[in-house]
A and B are shown apart, each in its own frame.
Chain A
Amino acid sequence: MRVGLFVTCLVDLMRPRIGFAAIELLEAAGCEVVVPATQTCCGQPAWNSGDRASAAKLAKKVIAEFEGFAYVVAPSGSCADHIRNGYPGILADEPAWLARATALSSRVFELTDFLVNVAKLETLPGNFSGSVTYHDSCAGLRSLGIKAQPRALLAKLPQVSLKEMNAAEECCGFGGTFSVKFGDISAAIAEKKCNNAVATEADAIVGGDLGCLLNIEGKLRRMGDETTQVLHIAEVLTAK
């Protein structure tokens, strides 16, 4: 199974180890992983800012780079949702591109969804030990139905205990450019998320989208919590 890894711009810039962890997991599931070197960003910031022209330009770039693969996997529900469900709408007025976007759409997956439901990964390469609480990121949860998949994977780690937080499904306040346009509101929402997460006394807050995790980690550290780890699910599943 030949899989194209969409690394995501945040992982590229901020946390390369998540990209390598995703590769390790996909290879453990028996996939041949290819990382197209020309990839940049899925274009969601442009689309959500109301810049359709830029969003369309970047959508076409991603389609051309990834349509040759059997599957496309991203360690982010938000980016996967944008490619899967956003592109056909963005390119609705260009029939040839719409056809290509639609053809790609059903083959695009968020990492945990792919590992559980397509690749059916049985044995994890990692052996993380500790308690975790899982934050359900919005796009993954509400657009792609990512809820049971990361928990099913965590359950395969014998030394991991999952402590669910209150309101795990509520937004952390990140919202892409929202976090820098309305920083005060964004930080106030993040504070509620952090309080709910910290109340579980878990060793680590885990999620599937780096944007949310940077927001949560940034707020947590500002609140003076230097010990609670904030990790991407791929990091937990591959931790040695």
Chain B
Amino acid sequence: MESRSHRFKENAAAALANPVLQASMKKAKGKFVDKRAIAIKEIDDFEGTREAAKQLRDRVLENLDLWLEKFESNATARGATVLWAKDGEEICRHVAEIGKRHGIKKAVKSKSMLSEEAGLNQALEANGIQPVETDLGEYILQINNNEPPSHIIAPVVHKSLDEVADLFEKVHKTPRKTEIPALTREAREVLRTHFLTADMGISGGNFLVAETGSVALVTNEGNGRMVTTLPRVHVVITGIEKVIPTLEDLSTLMRLLPRSATGQSISNYVSVLTGTKAADELDGPEHLYYILVDNGRADVIGSEFQEMLRCIRCGACMNHCPVYQAIGGHAYGWVYPGPMGSVLTPLYTGLENAIDLPHAATLCNQCGVVCPVKIPLPDLLRKLREKQTDRNLRPWLERAALKAWAFVAASPTLYALGVWFGVRYLKWLAGGKASIPVLSVAPEWTRGRDFPAPEGRTFRELYAQRKQP
């Protein structure tokens, strides 16, 4: 997927001015935040479980190559083929080759963020394979001119019911429906035909279980089951960091994932899929492929950002982020929005291509507090800012201002002089009023709010005076 992260500020401004988006974000926040708060109370020792999940993810990342080899050998033993992809292009090449080998005309897809990273749908079409998104949200986006998702688990969270009703009327050429059950039924009817006629199913993978060579899928709509069992070929596309050692580990993570993501005790469907269809089995694919993707992940291993790879893609960080809540996911410009996206996008697409994202956070640490695997997101954002400084990627004016300020702040005399003038300047700007409506040194501040006037003299002046008898 082509990144539009370099246009973050314009994207955000458009989002703030979009009333439909604003209404949708308000509605979604209540749903995600309140439901999670209730769901985590069901676990006796939520903090202990978080710590256990963090540790097990860290253990995997310490020896990622070994766990991947173990997964590969166990998956292969159960009849699967494990392929490796360096980047999005290689994902597309693998899938095209598989399609050619098995004479595939149509592929049904359940949600896969990796396929978004790779821009897979366009590649499939170019190779004569019709891709059909079957997650309801992803389906809505696909029929809306391949609009990108705005959230990793709720891809159409930015859309209103009215927008979907208009879209279905236009694309399906059916009478306009405004009830959610009626719209859902209409989508099901369309998708049912595709499930039955597709010869390839493409899914993501929430976890890869090394000891059994299985993929675990966490879904709510049931489309994942159809995609992975009906077509004769199943392709799993997932990141190399998704491997975990055991089924026991899966159960630890499953206590956290649905609760953190949607506030559910457990998702409607949890599938653990192992191998191809055996001779005595009725369901399952005849051919099973795993495409395990690097796309920037291997470089993060061993770096100061390794903790980011613990991520289990629940979306709690964005759901709780005041910035995400204000602007929605599209503004972030690539596959992953919110705090996790502001870390992953520069890491995977290049620091210089997402210059604003690490700064687009108040560092309030609500994301760090809710993350089920305890990723210190504000610390990682700050480290990315440091990387930008090291590489002189920030605007020169900002760098110069920061250096000048730091120089002055290091000298008590200069600093005292600076604030002496500063306070008088601000007081003069206020002109006897309690607020300054336009502050030319910080125009961004006063575009949307006033700047309160200072008292008029600095603490250091008044304190020095008070001490004198």
Instruction: Give the interface centre of A48, A58, A61 by most chain B CB atoms within 10 Å.
Output: A48
Interchain nearest-CB distance for B442 vs A (Å):
5
Is A217 part of the binding interface, using a Cβ–Cβ cutoff of 8 Å?
yes
With A16-B457, A180-B445 known to touch, is A49 a contact of B16 (CB < 8 Å)?
no
Residues of A within 8 A of B406 (CB): 43, 46, 51, 54, 57-58
Asked if residues A11 and B459 are in contact (CB atoms below 8 Å), the reply is yes
Q: Kindly state whether residue B46 has any CB partner on chain A within 8 Å.
A: no
Give the distance in Å from the alpha carbon of A45 to the alpha carbon of B387 in the complex. 16
Q: Please, which residues of chain A bring their CB within 8 A of the CB of B366?
A: 138, 142, 169-171
Chain A: which residue is nearest B444 at the CB level? A183
Distance from B423 Cβ to chain A, minimum over Cβ atoms (Å): 6
A185 contacts chain B at the CB level, 8 A cutoff: yes
Q: Mark B450-463, 1 if CB is under 8 A from A, else 0.
A: 11101101111011
Complex Cα–Cα for A216 and B208 (A): 47
Say if the beta carbon of B422 comes within 8 Å of chain A. Answer: yes
Residues of A within 8 A of B443 (CB): 183
Is there contact, CB below 8 Å, between B402 and A54? yes
**B362 and A175 within 8 A (CB):** yes
Residue of chain A at shortest CB distance from B388: A50
A51 to B401, CA, bound (A): 12
Assess whether B455 is in contact with A16, with CB atoms less than 8 Å apart.
yes
A94 to chain B, nearest CB (A): 16
The distance in angstroms between the C-alpha atoms of A106 and B375, with both chains bound, is 25
Q: 8 Å CB contacts to A: which residues of B41-73?
A: none
Q: A12-B459, A48-B385, A57-B410 are in contact. Are A218 and B452 (CB under 8 A)?
A: yes
Contacts of A218 in B (CB 8 A): 435, 445-446, 449-452
When distances are taken between beta carbons in the complex, the residues of chain A under 8 Å from B386 are 50-52
How near does chain B come to A53, taking the closest CB pair, in angstroms? 8
A129 at the interface (CB under 8 A from B): no
Q: A189-B322, A189-B326, A189-B362 are in contact. Are A184 and B13 (CB under 8 A)?
A: yes
With contacts A14-B452, A50-B387, A58-B410 known, is A178 near B359, CB below 8 A? yes
Chain A contacts for B462, CB-based, 8 A: 16, 20
Q: Which of A45, A191, A219 touches B405 (beta carbons < 8 Å)?
A: A45
Q: Are B9 and A16 in contact (CB under 8 A)?
A: no
Expressed in whole angstroms, the Cα–Cα distance for A17 and B457 within the complex equals 10
Please, how many angstroms separate the alpha-carbon atoms of A180 and B401 in the complex? 13
Report whether B362 and A215 are in contact in the complex, using a CB–CB cutoff of 8 Å: no
In chain B, positions 387-427 with a C-beta closer than 8 Å to chain A are 387-390, 394, 398, 402-403, 405-406, 408-410, 412, 415, 419, 422-423, 426
Question: Does A185 contact B382, Cβ atoms closer than 8 Å?
Answer: no
Cβ of A238 under 8 Å from chain B? no
Asked if A171 contacts B364 (CB within 8 A), the reply is yes
Tell me whether A219 and B388 are in contact in the complex, defined as CB-CB below 8 angstroms, given that A174-B362, A182-B9, A183-B444 are known contacts: no
In the complex, whether B464 has a CB less than 8 A from a CB of chain A is yes
CB-CB under 8 A from A11, the residues of chain B are: 459
Chain B: minimal CB distance from A229 (Å): 11
- B223 to chain A: closest CB distance in Å? 35
In whole angstroms, what is the CA distance A174 to B364 when docked? 9
Query: Would you call A146 an interface residue if the criterion is a C-beta within 8 Å of the partner chain's C-beta atoms?
Result: no
Closest residue on chain B to residue A15 by CB atoms: B455
CA distance A51 to B405 in the complex (A): 12
A37 touches B448 (CB 8 A): no
Q: A96 in the interface, Cβ–Cβ < 8 Å?
A: no
Flag if B402 contacts A49 (CB, 8 Å). yes
Residue B323 at the chain A interface, CB threshold 8 Å = yes
Bound: A178/B368 CA distance, A: 18
Contacts of B412 in A (CB 8 A): 37-40
**B residues less than 8 Å from A138 (CB atoms):** 362-366
Contact of A182 with B448 in the complex, beta carbons under 8 Å: no
A221 touches B452 (CB 8 A): yes
User: Could you tell me the distance in whole angstroms from the C-beta of A19 to the nearest C-beta in chain B?
Assistant: 4
Check if A7 is an interface residue, CB within 8 A of chain B. yes
Q: Does B28 contact A (CB under 8 A)?
A: no
Chain A contacts with B in 41-73, Cβ cutoff 8 A? 41, 43, 45-52, 54, 57-58, 61
Residue of B nearest to A53 (CB): B406
A187 within 8 A of B: yes
Whether B361 is near chain A, meaning CB under 8 Å from some CB there, is yes
Given A11-B459, A183-B444, A185-B16, check contact A219 B449 (CB 8 Å). yes
Contact of B382 with A181 in the complex, beta carbons under 8 Å: no
Q: Does B452 lie within 8 Å of A214, measured CB to CB? A: yes
Residues from chain B with a CB closer than 8 A to the CB of A35 are 463
Chain A residue nearest in CB terms to B365:
A142
Contact A15 B454 (CB under 8 A): yes
At the interface, yes or no: A123 with Cβ under 8 Å from chain B? no
A48 & B455 in contact (Cβ 8 Å cutoff): no
Nearest first, the 8 A-B pairs at minimum CB distance are: A187-B448, A183-B444, A175-B362, A50-B385, A54-B406, A171-B364, A16-B459, A218-B449
Can you give 8 A-B contacts (C-beta < 8 A)? A7-B460, A48-B385, A51-B402, A178-B361, A186-B445, A186-B448, A188-B16, A219-B449
- Known contacts A13-B458, A175-B362; 19 additional CB pairs below 8 A are A9-B409, A9-B419, A16-B457, A20-B459, A37-B412, A43-B409, A49-B394, A50-B385, A51-B406, A57-B406, A139-B365, A173-B322, A178-B360, A178-B362, A181-B359, A186-B444, A190-B449, A218-B446, A218-B449
